[in-house]
Every structure is written in C-alpha cells, then in structure tokens.
Amino acid sequence: MTANTNRFSTYTSTSVGSGSDGKNGEPKKDMWSSMLDNVASGKRLPEKNMLVLGGTVESQRDFIGGLANNDGRRSADRQSHKIPPIANSFALGYTYYDVMDADQDDVLARVSLYLLSNPSPSFTSLVKPLLTPQTIPNTLIVILLDWSQPWLWMRQLREWVLLIRKVIGSLSLDCKDAMEEVMIGWKDRGRGGTTVNLDGTGAVPAEGDIALPLGPGEWEDGLGLPLCVVCQGAERIDYLEKTQGWREEKFDLVLQYLRTVLLKHGASLIYTSPTMASPLQTLVHASLGIHSLLKRQPIKHNVIDRDKIVVPPNWDSWSKIRILREGFDTDAVSLGWGIDLDHDPYQPPATNGANGAAEGNDDEEAMMTNGHANEEPVAEPEGSAVVLYEEQVQDTSLDALQLAQGHQATTRLEVEPADTQKFLAQQLPKLEAEKKVDEQSGKDYSQISAADEIISDHIGPVQFNMGGIQVDADDMVQRLKDRQAYGQSPEPSLIDEVEQEPVDSKPDTERLAQFFGNLMNRKPAGGGGK
C-alpha cells in the first residue's frame, strides 16, 4: 500500500485540539482567519444610501448622471464599458455608482440609490426596510422638483414630507434613537463657529469659537435624516419669463417660500441645469459624509443668480430670507407649513365591520396602482402655506382657457368643438332676430350703394406710380375703354349697307362678291384729281 504523498497544513488540526501548553479543550486562535478578516475589512468600501423621491423616469436618470460623473470612472470600468443599469420604471427603483477620489484611482465609497416617483402611502412598506440602525447614519433623502411646474412645488413637498413621516412613525425604537443621534450631529454641521464641517470631518477650532444658537424657524421639525431638495431644469426660467410674464419678484417669491419651509427641516437647496455646471455632486457627497483625501472642495452659497441657487444646510436664516425681497412674511409661511404637516390632505374611505375588512385588501391593491385613487381630498386648513403659495404662484398659461370655459368646473385642457351644422342652426335664430330689430328701427339696406359712393368720394382717386409718372387709375381705365371702342367701330358706309340688306339665314355669294368688288374699285375721296 503506497503512502499518501499529498501535502497539507497541520496548523488547523492542531490549533483546535490542544492549547500551546498541552491542555486539551482550549481552542487556539486561528491566525490565518484573523489576518484575512483584517485584509477584507480594509478593502471593504463604505456603503452610502440615497433615497431619491419625486421626479420622472427621465429626470431621475438626469440626476443620477450628474452625480455618477461617468468620465471619472475607473480605468477597468472604462475599458469594459459597464455602466450600472438604472431600474426605475416601476415602484421602487435601484441603481448604484462608485465615488472616485480626485486622482480617479481610489474609490471613496459606493452609493446605492433607491428611487421612488409616487408619493402614495402604500409605498411606505417598500421604504421601511431601507432604514435600519446601521444604514440611518449613512442615508440621505433627496426630493426632486422640476421647473416645468413650479406652481406645484409646495404641494409636492408636503406629500413627500408626509410620506417620510409615516415611514419614520413605523420604525422601531432603535431606528428612532439612531435618527435622534443623526439629527443632533447635523445641527452642528457646517454652522459657523463650530468645529464640524458639512461632510462630518473635524475642523481646526479657532480661538474663541462657540456654538451658535438656533434662530427662529431653524430645525423645528427634523425628519431624522438629512434632506436635500434639487430643483431641476433651471434653464426653463427664461422660458417662464418670456411665455408667462414672470419677473424677478416672482422668482424671488418662489425661492423665499422654499427656503422658509426647508429651514424648518434643516435641509439644503440647489438649482440644477444640464447646460450649466453646479456643485450638486459636492453638496450631495458632503451630505453623505464622503470627502476627498486629496482635494477639499468648499461649498459656497449663492442666492443672487436666479438659475444657480445653492443654499447649504445650517447657513440660512429668516433675516437672510427677508433681505431677498421685502414684504415676505416668514412667520406666516413657517406657521402655515406646520399646519400643513399636521393636516392630512387625504382621508381614507370609511369601512364598517366585516365588509370594511373584506374591502381593505382591494383598496390597498388599488392604491398600489393608482396612488390616491381611493382617497378623497378634503378642504385645505386655514392658514395653509400651500394655499398661500398657490394663490401667488399660478400657471398663467391656463388663464385664457379658463376664461373661454367660463365657470365650468373642469380640469380638462381639451375643448371639443360643436358640429358645424348645429352651430349654424343655433346662429340662425339670432340672425333673424337681429334682422327684425333692424327692420323695426327703419334701416334701409338699399342705401348701401349710395354709402359706397360717399365713401369713394371721401377716399378720392386711386393713383399709382408707373415709370416715375403718377397716373390716375380711373382716368387710365376710361382712356383704355375709349380707345378700344374707337378701334372696333366700322365705317359709316359699311354700316349703312349692312343695315339696308335684309337678314338672311343663308349667305348670298353674289351679293358678297359684289360687295367686295365695290370695295376694291372704290376711289379715294378728296384725292389729287385732274
């Protein structure tokens, strides 16, 4: 029998059986496993999560494209041309991208994006598993708004904030404790006079630095997670100015509403456009705690350029909002926003007893597909910030349509025209009635031609320029008629002869020959006779 020549390590078998001192039953530490675990943990990428709410399939893709920065991918990814797919066509979508360092060699973090377009409360069950005590410190909420419909922004913000509140209310106590710690840390981030930057890194404190107290309206309603609002399509600002007559006052009003509302949640605000560069990537990555090891990019606020607005968290205040445009009531808007969040704009259908329990599943399925299909809107509360906003910011392109429709209670943009014959039949009685009124008033329609002559006398002759000579049109027409009549008139002798001849239906050849012979033999009158 041949011996086994396979070589194997005896470390694993001896490390568990007995200790170094020869005592049985004491496990020996696995050196190789601990070394491999240390290496794996060193190469593990920091995981960051982003919950993107709102927008359409296309606008969400534009937002991801602005963050991913495909030109900065690693060389391996560029060679293989593998770009992570974006699945956001149904319900809760997902994609990811890697954040590269300034030299494009090191991967700083991997960001997972969860995309949701419908603010239906039925989707809370999809969002809830994403928030755990481990993921909450590394999660950012982004709400997408679009400049194609700025008059709906406050209503859209309310729907998303209410959805976030419902998700948070259904979390466990451990998750809520983690959110409380996140909010305590965020209240100091980026605030002047503190030692914490916006990305969470420590800064060198200056002598005499103290924590600044919160001002009125700041962090009154922390959501438990950092919030960033992105207003896409800022290039449409010029379009609104040209087509709907928006002025600087209207754009400032919209900005003041947004800043006042977001100040209560400690949120940031930024306007983006695909045609202009923006610090969107820097703002989002700093909010996630991702910072470059080689190059630090500071975030500068901008509230002057109407299409390049940037409001970092913990920078704004009521005094700065009021300076933008006088007459804006920050107190009323902030109070009204609190009223909006305490009031659910939709109420579920009433259910009673067994029938209600049986219909509950059907209603839930319908809401999953139709959003608020089974929810009836109720009246807005008094003092609502949404109502105040929509009274001052309206879609003026619908004014002409609403004026044409009168007081019809309809939201349709299409107008179906009436049948031509029916329309004429409706107009006929009106024309007959007008005719009778004219006859009773004594109007004589035969005087129209006389009126035309009077008008022509007032107008005068019609003249035009022909080769540098001013010509009277009426006189020219009369001369042409006279010349044509003179050229077509026959000689008197010929006319007499024709009139004297009887009219015969058949031509007489002898008479014709005699007539032409006389014409040939006729001598000229008054000539040079002998």
CA-to-CA distance for 178 and 164, rounded, in angstroms?
Answer: 16
Q: Within a domain: residue 98?
A: yes
Q: Within a domain: residue 121?
A: yes
Q: Supply φ then ψ for residue 184, to 5 degrees.
A: -65, -40
Per-residue pLDDT of the chain (530 residues; tens, 9 = 90+): 444 444 434 333 333 444 444 445 545 556 777 666 655 554 577 899 999 999 999 999 999 988 876 444 444 444 444 568 888 888 899 999 988 887 777 888 999 999 999 999 889 999 999 999 999 999 999 999 999 999 999 999 999 999 999 999 999 999 999 999 999 988 878 665 555 677 666 654 445 556 678 889 999 999 999 999 999 999 999 999 998 889 999 999 999 999 999 999 999 999 999 888 889 999 999 999 888 877 777 888 999 999 999 999 999 999 999 999 999 999 999 999 999 999 876 555 444 444 444 444 444 444 444 445 444 556 888 899 999 999 999 987 765 445 555 545 545 556 677 778 888 888 889 888 888 887 877 655 555 556 556 666 666 666 767 667 777 777 777 887 787 776 665 555 544 544 555 545 455 677 777 777 776 666 665 544 44
Boundary residue ending a domain (333, 364, 397): 333
Do residues 94 and 72 touch, judged by C-beta distance below 8 A?
no
Q: Within a domain: residue 126?
A: yes
Residue that has been written with the tokens 């568990």 in this structure: 16
Q: Within a domain: residue 378?
A: no
Query: Which pair of tokens denotes residue 433?
Result: 């009635």
Number of structural domains found in the chain: 2
Do residues 112 and 144 touch, judged by C-beta distance below 8 A?
no
Of 2, 37, 223, nearest to 127 (Cα)? 223
Strands across the sheet containing 227-232: 92-100, 107-116, 47-54, 139-146, 227-232, 268-271, 310-311
Which amino acid does the sequence have at 400?
A: A
Of 381, 321, 302, 392, nearest to 347 (Cα)? 381
Question: Which pLDDT score is estimated for 472?
Answer: 76
Of 137, 290, 203, nearest to 281 (Cα)? 290
Question: Which pLDDT score is estimated for 204?
Answer: 47
Residue 85 is part of a domain; what is its CATH number? Answer: 3.40.50.300
Domain of 483, in residue numbers: 455-490
The reply to whether 465 and 328 lie within a common domain is: no
Boundary residue ending a domain (303, 333, 363): 333
Q: Within a domain: residue 324?
A: yes
What is the pTM assigned to this prediction? 0.65
Boundary residue ending a domain (333, 354, 389): 333
Q: Within a domain: residue 304?
A: yes
Of 91, 172, 77, 190, nearest to 133 (Cα)? 172
Do residues 198 and 190 touch, judged by C-beta distance below 8 A?
yes
Other beta carbons within 10 angstroms of residue 168's beta carbon come to: 18
The reply to whether 241 and 108 lie within a common domain is: yes
Question: Which residues does 260 contact at the CB level (< 8 Å), separation at least 6?
Answer: 217, 318, 321, 330, 333, 334, 337
Burial environment of residue 240 by CB neighbours within 10 A (0 to 12, 13 to 18, 19 or more): buried
Question: Which pLDDT score is estimated for 284?
Answer: 94
Q: Within a domain: residue 131?
A: yes
Question: Which pLDDT score is estimated for 105?
Answer: 72
Q: For 40, what's the count of Cα atoms within 13 Å in the CB-facing half-sphere?
A: 6
Question: Which pLDDT score is estimated for 267?
Answer: 95
Q: Within a domain: residue 512?
A: no
| C-alpha torsion sign, points 356, 357, 359, 363 | positive
Question: Which pLDDT score is estimated for 449?
Answer: 58
Question: Which pLDDT score is estimated for 220?
Answer: 93
Question: Which pLDDT score is estimated for 49?
Answer: 96
Cα angle, residue 352 at apex, residues 349 and 358 outer, rounded to 5°: 85
Question: Which pLDDT score is estimated for 475?
Answer: 78
The reply to whether 123 and 271 lie within a common domain is: yes
Question: Which pLDDT score is estimated for 447?
Answer: 57
The reply to whether 320 and 461 lie within a common domain is: no
Question: Which pLDDT score is estimated for 388?
Answer: 95
Burial environment of residue 502 by CB neighbours within 10 A (0 to 12, 13 to 18, 19 or more): exposed
Question: Which pLDDT score is estimated for 273?
Answer: 92
